[in-house]
Structure 1
Amino acid sequence: MSVLRSAVRLTALNVRARMEYRGEFALSLVHGVLWQSSLLLFLTVLVTRFPGLGGWTGGQVFFIAGLRLVGHAVYVIFFDTVADLPRLVQEGRIEGYLLRPLPLLTQVLLSSARVTALGDLAVGLTVLGIGIGIADTSWPWWKLAFLVAAVAGAALLEGAVQLAISTLAFRQVDTGTPAMWADELMASFGNYPITIFPMPLKLMLTTVLPAAYTAFLPASVLLGQTQGGVLGALAIASPAAGVLAFLAARRLWYAGAARYEGVGG
């Protein structure tokens, strides 16, 4: 409980610190909205020109994109600060973190507040709402519970990918390029049904860079598009994939931290 109280207090302090500069705070929110609104515009044009993509209707495609955006926004709120690890290592600030009683990863995750994520979340909920409104499906209680689990799983999965990449920073390797590469690929391919992609890309999106688990696979359960076989089983288990991946990445991250020798080796 003491760790939870400290986390809440640090988060409140980070938000208050950002709100000290209200103009910058507002611009950060607007930046998040404008950045993700381009996707909303592109999707509108896409589903207008092409009524169906890989057997999915326009409303269902909106739902996939909205689900990924909401999961991404939750990821940014809670886990995006792992991208700051290379800078913290280069500036020698990690040594100070190691002397504090809080777990190292907790301190890194609470090192700042990502205000732009609120704009991402607003656009994501809008796109998801449009998809729910257009898609012809009922919403019993178990679907609502699965939707919440899917969002949490997507956030954890994206967090796991970036956490694993950031582990390289403990060896003073600049992780900016691979982290950006992974983020761009997740955003580029995670918004659409993987059925429209060739088989090699489908395999990559379900194994090497598991973007399919963030939206497509859980959406197939929620919208009644679940296929049989392996893909059907993966779809049902997709929220759990995020939990397992994050636990594995966390273990890898702390293994890297244990071998950290300080700036300069």
Structure 2
Amino acid sequence: MEDNKGLVNISEHDQPGRLRRLLLFTTASWRLNLAGAMEFRFSFLLTVGTMIVNNIVWIIFWGMYFRRFPVLNGWTLQDVMMMWAAAAGGFGIMSVFFGNATRLASLIATGQLDVYLAQPKPVLLNVLISRMSVSAIGDLVFAFFIFIGFGDVSLLGIIKFAAALFLSGLIFIFFCVMAGCLSFWLGNTEGLSFQLFNALLTFATYPTGIFKGFGRIILFTVIPAGFISSMPVSFIREIDLPFVYGALGMAALLCAGGILLFYRGLRKYTSGNMMGLRR
């Protein structure tokens, strides 16, 4: 009995060490991804710059619109700019730091999870952080520039914007994880997963004030883009507590659902008999 208690105590005391090793592993993966992306500097800068320019085109469009119509159902140009910052920043967090979230369906369907299952790391985390989207770095840079140009750059404003990006990133990541996990049960759902992700990304960049009735319900349930696009008026401009509780609840639900679906689905996973090495 004493030995068993001792083992339990050792395990409990080792928890900080395990968390530290996991953090070191995660940051090391991110550093390797970035080093690989920057191997060809000109290509890296061109890719990032192209994405920034692509986003600026949309900003110009909205700027022209609000020059003629200063208010859209209570939304101002500043609100729309911050909506784009929240959406681009959340997407950037997912694609830069958890880049395989949008490729999960393909990895499952083609049996490419084998290499991750053979490693003594949390499988889902290992899968998600093993890839980085270079172009999405442009989205992150764009989000910060928009915040500096149109946001409240006070301490409170920075905290609120950081919280908005955190919630937006969680929604993007685990919505894509849940969509990708459908491949465990339905076969190759890469196309369906992409369409669901594209719907989330598209509707996250339109003011929720223009949607009414059933469409608005969909945007706060099935495709939770409303929680991202509403950030400027319901959290960044002024805190609407029911919205904040709803956003926190949706983020927590997606996190729990994504993790549960992945590990339940992993029991059904069929190995692709693939041999591979990761650095």
TM-score using structure 1 length: 0.84
The answer to whether the Cα contact below 8 Å between 2:102 and 2:194 also exists between their aligned partners in 1 is: no
Once residues 51 and 238 of structure 2 are traced to their aligned partners in structure 1, the CA distance between those partners, rounded to angstroms, is 32
1:47 aligns with 2:66: yes
Once residues 209 and 107 of structure 1 are traced to their aligned partners in structure 2, the CA distance between those partners, rounded to angstroms, is 26
| Structure 1 residue 16, shift from structure 2 partner | 1.4
Q: Which residue does 1:249 correspond to in 2?
A: 258
| Structure 1 residue 126, shift from structure 2 partner | 2.4
- Structure 1 residues 125 and 94, CA gap change in structure 2 (3 angstroms): same
1:179 aligns with 2:193: yes
Please give the secondary structure, in 1, of the residue aligned with 2:252: helix
How does 1:109-188 map onto structure 2 within 5 Å? 109-132=128-151, 141=156, 143-171=157-185, 173-188=187-202
Indicate which of 18, 22, 25 corresponds to 2:44: 25
Once residues 27 and 151 of structure 2 are traced to their aligned partners in structure 1, the CA distance between those partners, rounded to angstroms, is 33
Once residues 88 and 140 of structure 1 are traced to their aligned partners in structure 2, the CA distance between those partners, rounded to angstroms, is 41
The answer to whether the Cα contact below 8 Å between 1:89 and 1:172 also exists between their aligned partners in 2 is: no
The answer to whether the Cα contact below 8 Å between 1:81 and 1:108 also exists between their aligned partners in 2 is: yes
| Structure 1 residue 91, shift from structure 2 partner | 4.9
2:262 aligned partner, one-letter code = W
Count of residue pairs brought into register by the alignment: 254
Deviations 1:222-257 (A, max 9, x none): 31384xxxxx51345424532332122111111111
Once residues 250 and 89 of structure 2 are traced to their aligned partners in structure 1, the CA distance between those partners, rounded to angstroms, is 17
- Structure 1 residues 118 and 84, CA gap change in structure 2 (3 angstroms): same
Q: Which residue does 2:81 correspond to in 1?
A: 62
| Structure 1 residue 153, shift from structure 2 partner | 0.8
Indicate which of 47, 56, 77 corresponds to 2:96: 77
Once residues 86 and 214 of structure 1 are traced to their aligned partners in structure 2, the CA distance between those partners, rounded to angstroms, is 23
| Structure 1 residue 113, shift from structure 2 partner | 1.9
| Structure 1 residue 171, shift from structure 2 partner | 4.4
The answer to whether the Cα contact below 8 Å between 2:94 and 2:101 also exists between their aligned partners in 1 is: no
The answer to whether the Cα contact below 8 Å between 1:66 and 1:125 also exists between their aligned partners in 2 is: yes
- Structure 1 residues 158 and 202, CA gap change in structure 2 (3 angstroms): same
Q: Which residue does 2:4 correspond to in 1?
A: none
Deviations 1:173-215 (A, max 9, x none): 3333223322332233222331211211111111110111113
| Aligned residues with identical type, % of pairs | 23
1:220 aligns with 2:234: yes
Once residues 15 and 225 of structure 1 are traced to their aligned partners in structure 2, the CA distance between those partners, rounded to angstroms, is 36
Please give the secondary structure, in 2, of the residue aligned with 1:53: coil
Please give the secondary structure, in 2, of the residue aligned with 1:120: helix
- Structure 1 residues 224 and 84, CA gap change in structure 2 (3 angstroms): closer
Which residues of structure 2 form unaligned runs of 5+?
1-19, 274-279
Which residues of structure 1 form unaligned runs of 5+?
227-231
Q: Which residue does 2:126 correspond to in 1?
A: 107
What is the aligned-residue RMSD (CA, Å)? 2.5
1:38 aligns with 2:52: no
- Structure 1 residues 90 and 64, CA gap change in structure 2 (3 angstroms): closer
| Structure 1 residue 106, shift from structure 2 partner | 1.7
Once residues 140 and 29 of structure 1 are traced to their aligned partners in structure 2, the CA distance between those partners, rounded to angstroms, is 28
Q: Which residue does 1:258 correspond to in 2?
A: 267
| Structure 1 residue 217, shift from structure 2 partner | 4.2
Q: Which residue does 2:7 correspond to in 1?
A: none
| Structure 1 residue 21, shift from structure 2 partner | 2.3
Once residues 113 and 62 of structure 2 are traced to their aligned partners in structure 1, the CA distance between those partners, rounded to angstroms, is 42
Once residues 256 and 198 of structure 1 are traced to their aligned partners in structure 2, the CA distance between those partners, rounded to angstroms, is 36
The answer to whether the Cα contact below 8 Å between 1:218 and 1:236 also exists between their aligned partners in 2 is: no
The answer to whether the Cα contact below 8 Å between 2:87 and 2:168 also exists between their aligned partners in 1 is: yes
